[in-house]
Amino acid sequence: MGKFITLEGMDGAGKSTHIPNIIALLASRGHEVISTREPGGTPLGERLRALLLHESMDAETETLLMFAARREHIARVIAPALARGAYVLSDRFTDATYAYQAGAKGVDVEKIAQLERWVQADLQPDVTLLFDVPVEVSVQRLASARTPDKFERESADFFSKIRTIYLQRAFDNPARFRIIDANKPLSEVKKLVEEIISTV
């Protein structure tokens, strides 16, 4: 079996910046690396992503569509890659649903847990890198970013709720999570990421 690595964090935390370097590090060790993202990762998932990031909808509808995209992602990309021994690197996974849809939008946690059990069975990431920054840093970074999607346009209170859930999930799952202070200089963050990946 391969390894499943996920990157999580608020919008503006800078996690996506480190994906090319992680891919290069894993590839240098001789691993096949599949880099993917959620929502998305498949043709159907990418179509759902466009809806999820730009269309207004009920929070539970949003949650169901996230898991529909995730099921397709697991069936078409993640599970086959892991079965052949590849390393799968995903920009977001189910922790994001707990943070965004439950934490920030109020969807019942148990409903999400039921969907998680149905869609994933026993699949969980081997390692989750949580890129953490203060809410004001996230908001500041997003203000100077590209045209924002509907999540990136949300308030500081929205992001505060997301950060709280992410940190709580890291506290509840210490064997899986690695918290990275993404407010440090980029060179320091890069070094820390490299140290973590070297142990995976």
What pLDDT digit, counting tens, does each position of 69-120 carry?
Answer: 999 999 999 999 999 999 999 999 999 999 999 999 999 999 999 999 999 9
Which residue is associated with the tokens 């439950």?
A: 102
What was the pLDDT predicted at 100?
95
What was the pLDDT predicted at 136?
78
Residue 106 — left, alpha, or beta (φ > 0 → left; ψ -120 to 50 → alpha)? left
User: Domain spanning 3-197: which superfamily?
Assistant: P-loop containing nucleotide triphosphate hydrolases (3.40.50.300)
- Enter the tokens of residue 32: 């096949």
Kindly tell me the sign of the dihedral angle through the C-alpha atoms of 107, 108, 113, 115.
Answer: negative
Does residue 20 carry a pLDDT above 90? yes
- Every domain of the chain and the residues it spans: 3-197
What was the pLDDT predicted at 13?
78
Q: Do 92 and 128 form a contact (C-beta atoms < 8 A)?
A: no
- What mean pLDDT comes out for the span 184-199? 95
Share of residues in the chain with pLDDT > 70 (%): 93
CA neighbor of 92 nearest in space, from 200, 189, 155, 11: 11
